[in-house]
Amino acid sequence: MIDTSNLENCTWKVLDDNGVANGTAFFVDGSYLLTSLHVVEDFLDKTFHIQNREKTKLAVNVKDHCTINDLAILVTEEYVSENIATLCSEEPLLTAEWSAFGFPATDEGLKVGSKLTGTIFNIINIEHKHDLILATPGITLISNYKGFSGSGVINTKEEITSILRYKDTNNLCSVSIKKAENFLIRNNINVKADELDDFTNYLPDAFQYVSDPFKGLGVANAKVVAKNTSPQKITSLLTGKLMVPERAGTMKEIIGYLKSQTVLNKELWRTWLEFLSYVQLLKGEYSDINAVYISLPKTEVSKFVPEVETIIKQDINLTLQFFFTEEKAYFSIARQHLLDKSAAGELQHNHCHVFHSHNPMFGLQPFTNEEKKKIVFDIASPTDAGVNVAGSIDYGVLSFSELTSKVAGSQSILEATNNLIKIFTDAIS
């Protein structure tokens, strides 16, 4: 359920000449409010009043209005609000959840206000004052709800994404911030771009399953990762390859889908943050998310040189690839992915494939070398390729759950580093 606490504190009644609530407005700046134009169309050239639930009354004027989007910006010179709503130019998505807060024309509603919830039912793509049709399951929108006009509509992240417009007798409608963005920016009202969250928003959830000292160590590295990259950057580089099987669609469509899947989206970026924290701990490279790699020191790369029984060891750059899936079956996902890579000739030495899902229990059982060998074709180097890279060094398969479970008990940086090196070395052996 969407928390409307901040929205409620931002929201005020718009009063008519008789002091009766005529609609709703909400603060988008210390002294600016946003509402529907039809709520204040009789007050364009004169001062009128707004009131909050504590009965504080303020004088306001219309600063600017937009007939195309049925919006008006109000300004007050006698008050600076500490409660401000965040506007987001989000790409509307069918069935996305929303919530709103306003003042329906009932005795109780006018005193304390009321909350509405629902989903986006339809998106209007032709030129029209409103572009969204909202569903309100279980609520009959009688005329008492006209006081909701001008109310802010928030998404699951508590950002205002549209403004209610109770002007259509058939449906509850709203004007998206995306549609009205030019008008708002022209009036110096801050509008947040439609993008994925910065990694700092996922820091509170990182390494929550372990105790100190490893938790503190992990979070410290996660903070460095959050400064160096972001979900937005990763998505822009990977697009459809962000998930397995690959998800078709444009960048905007993929972002829209992820933002509509709250649980999936949260787990996806939490685990990306932790995965890159391991890379950071090992002083690996992830500026190019398509070429993430770590160094495995003094790894055995050949058991022999022809006719000379000599063990050769050297540092190995191990390329890491992280894959997220909505599926539940770890083995079937890993098997199909490796088969596809192998058949396409894209399965390479010194690569480790790490899989994860938001589904519980995904990948808790280790993927053994015996199972790995049954899945893909032999990819050992040709015998005439010089120094023979032994079959013990090829490609790795890990679940993220398996990876984290083996390092979570580390008591120092050295122990965590050694555990990670051993896990990745074992995976490609």
Give the strand pairing for 152-154 and 132-135: unpaired
Same domain, 162 and 29: yes
d(CA 239, CA 62): 43
Contact status, residue 388 vs residue 302, Cβ threshold 8 Å: yes
Whether residues 278 and 142 fall in one domain: no
pTM, rounded to two decimals? 0.66
C-alpha–C-alpha distance, residues 259 and 325, integer Å: 16
Do 55 and 184 share a domain, yes or no? yes
- Render pLDDT for 244-289 as a digit per residue (tens, 0 to 9): 988 888 887 888 788 778 889 999 999 999 999 999 999 999 999 9
Answer yes or no: do 225 and 140 share one domain: no
Tell me the C-alpha distance between 253 and 237, whole Å: 15
The pLDDT value recorded for residue 109 is 62
Q: What is the pLDDT of residues 19-67, one digit of tens each?
A: 888 899 999 999 999 999 999 999 999 999 999 988 899 999 999 999 9
* pLDDT on residue 15: 92
Query: Same domain for 49 and 102?
Result: yes
Predicted local distance difference test score (pLDDT) of residue 376? 54
Residue finishing a domain among 190, 221, 242: 190
**One domain for residues 246 and 125:** no
Predicted local distance difference test score (pLDDT) of residue 381: 42
Domain count, the chain: 2
Residue 18 has what pLDDT? 85
Our measurement of the distance from residue 207's CA atom to the centroid of its chain's CA atoms, rounded to an integer in Å, reads 18
Same domain, residue pair 375 and 266: yes
Give the number of other Cβ atoms within 10 Å of residue 287's Cβ: 9
* Same domain as 91, residue 55: yes
Does 264 lie in the same domain as 186? no
Please check whether residues 62 and 109 belong to one and the same domain.
yes
Type of residue found at 104: P
Looking at the structure, tell me whether residues 291 and 169 fall in a common domain. no
Domain CATH for 78: 2.40.10.120
**Distance, C-alpha 232 to centroid of its chain:** 9
Q: Look up tokens 């700092």; give the residue.
A: 200
Q: Among 166, 190, 214, which residue terminates a domain?
A: 190
Same domain, 287 and 383: yes
- Looking at 126, 155, 190, the residue that finishes a domain is 190
- Which stretches of the chain drop beneath a pLDDT of 70? 106-110, 140-144, 167-170, 298-314, 372-393
Range of the domain at 58: 5-190
